[in-house]
Structure 1
Amino acid sequence: MSSFARLILVRHAPTEATRRHAFPRDEPLDVAGEAAAAGLRGRLEAGRAVTAPLRRCSGTAALAGFEDAESDARWSELDFGAWAGATLGEIGEREPDRVQAWLDDPQTAPPGGEALADLTARVRDALDEYGGPGADTVVFTSGGPVKAAVVAALGAPDSAFWRIDVDPCSATVLHCRSGRWTVRSLNADPRAGRR
């Protein structure tokens, strides 16, 4: 057993919403996304596997060889409420003031959705649990929780969330020693080598 925790955060493979840059619903991977997820098989090593309970995340986990990944809702994407299915540009044309408030204030939520502050709070809660020494854990999740975990590891304000990009099928690796998280790598392509 290791003296530190190693957390490998894998953003799900592409979906139709990913390609459109739309706020996602709970949708499956598209055909190209399935091929990309299958390309992760044998590239990730971990003693424990976890997935957000979203079809795109559990589908990525299964195709990557982690069919038995346990589900943890804290790793679910931000709930975009009434904005799900639309792009930021489309929403910005209809509700420019509300979009700007959402981008400026982590406490502001989309209509019927979740505030960024709520996402970062639940991801911090998960990090507290996963931070003990032990086996490596791979988590199949969405871009929002990966970004929230990086913000938490850096001790940055929630507003730093908007300054991080995370690609589909990328791996972000965090280490935790004595309750302190560090960012080991960000947005790496695990298909280029083992992580």
Structure 2
Amino acid sequence: MTSRVMLISPAVSAALREARFDDGCSLDAAGLRRARSAAGTQPAAGQVFASPSVRRRKPAAGAGLDAVPLPEMAGWEWAGGGAAPGRVTAAEPDAVAAWLADPGCAPHGGESLLELCDRVGGGLDAVAGEAGRVIVVVEPDAVCGAAGRALGVTAQAFWRIDVPPLTAVKFSGRAGRWSLRAGRPRGDAE
């Protein structure tokens, strides 16, 4: 059975707009408007999931999707969240350099890039058995991790994938063997 899974990145929040690690903040007014404008632009789905954070559940609801939390597709953060990457780099330059260079390194106390890719790849495989099309609203980093796993590229390719807000990326296939179709922004997102 061929599965169809669409990963949709969330609309803009204050954390994204201010270029800082997410701290669980909700969408700002502009992000919520954009999520609402995307309502009805996605195809019908048999099941809708979302990363368990507020920032993912709210845009799913704003777009008219009743999403079930899917912890395997949670975002990847530097421990503590909310800090600007430049600030973290200034405070912990060696740790950040190691984190960026070594996909197995997790100096921030969280998971490594390899662990993120394994987790979200497992989440993608887990929803493969769902009937009909599946939509999952996730962080851009979860999309990057799933894309890397689907394409069978090294974890370092993660840093070369750009996922704009409200972009849909489609996966088709079955657990362990996916094809990827790069998406485009939903609604009025650019």
TM-score by length of 2: 0.92
The alignment covers a number of residue pairs equal to 187
State the secondary structure of the residue aligned to 2:83: coil
Kept in 2: contact 1:131–1:179 (CA 8 A): no
1:99 is the counterpart of 2:96? yes
Equivalent residue for 2:28? 30
Contact preservation (8 Å) 1:13, 1:168: yes
Q: Structure 1, residues 34-75: CA drift from partner, whole Å, max 9, x if none?
A: 101101100112121001110010001000111x21111111
* CA shift digits 1:91-129 (9 cap, x unpaired): 222222111100011121242322212211111111222
Aligned amino acid, residue 191 of structure 1: G
More deviation, 151-160/126-135: 126-135
Equivalent-residue separation in structure 2 for 1:122 and 1:152 (angstroms): 10
The one of 167, 171, 174 equivalent to 1:170 is 167
Q: Which runs of 5+ in 1 are unaligned?
A: none
Q: CA RMSD in A?
A: 1.6
CA 1:116/1:61 → structure 2, altered by over 3 Å: closer, same or farther? same
Give runs of aligned pairs for residues 117-156 of structure 1, distance below 5 A.
117-132=114-129, 134-156=131-153
The answer as to whether partners of 2:95 and 2:108 remain within 8 angstroms in 1 is no
Any idea what SS the aligned residue of 1:42 has? coil
**Counterpart in the other structure of 2:11:** 13
1:133–1:177 contact (8 Å) kept in structure 2: no
Q: Kindly tell me: are residues 178 and 89 of structure 1, through their superposed partners in 2, closer, same or farther at Cα, counting changes over 3 Å?
A: closer
CA displacement 1:131-178 (0-9 Å, x = unmatched)? 247310000110111000100110011111001011111111111147
- The DSSP-based 3-state class of the residue aligned with 1:190 is coil
Instruction: State the 1:180 CA deviation.
Output: 1.4
Q: TM-score, normalised by structure 1?
A: 0.90
Cα pair distance change 1:99/1:155, threshold 3 Å: same
Structure 1 residue 12: Cα displacement: 0.9
Instruction: Tell me the distance in 2 between the aligned counterparts of 1:171 and 1:110.
Output: 31
Give percent identity, aligned residues only. 35
Q: 2:182 aligns with which of 175, 182, 185?
A: 185
Relative to structure 1, the CA distance from residue 134 to residue 96 in structure 2 (aligned partners, 3 Å threshold; closer, same or farther) is same
What amino acid maps onto 1:168 in structure 2?
P
Cα offset for 1:79? 3.2
> Shift of the alpha carbon at 1:90?
1.7
**Counterpart of 1:49 in 2: which secondary structure?**
strand
Moved over 4 A (4+): none
Does residue 54 of the first structure (1) align with residue 45 of the second (2)?
A: no
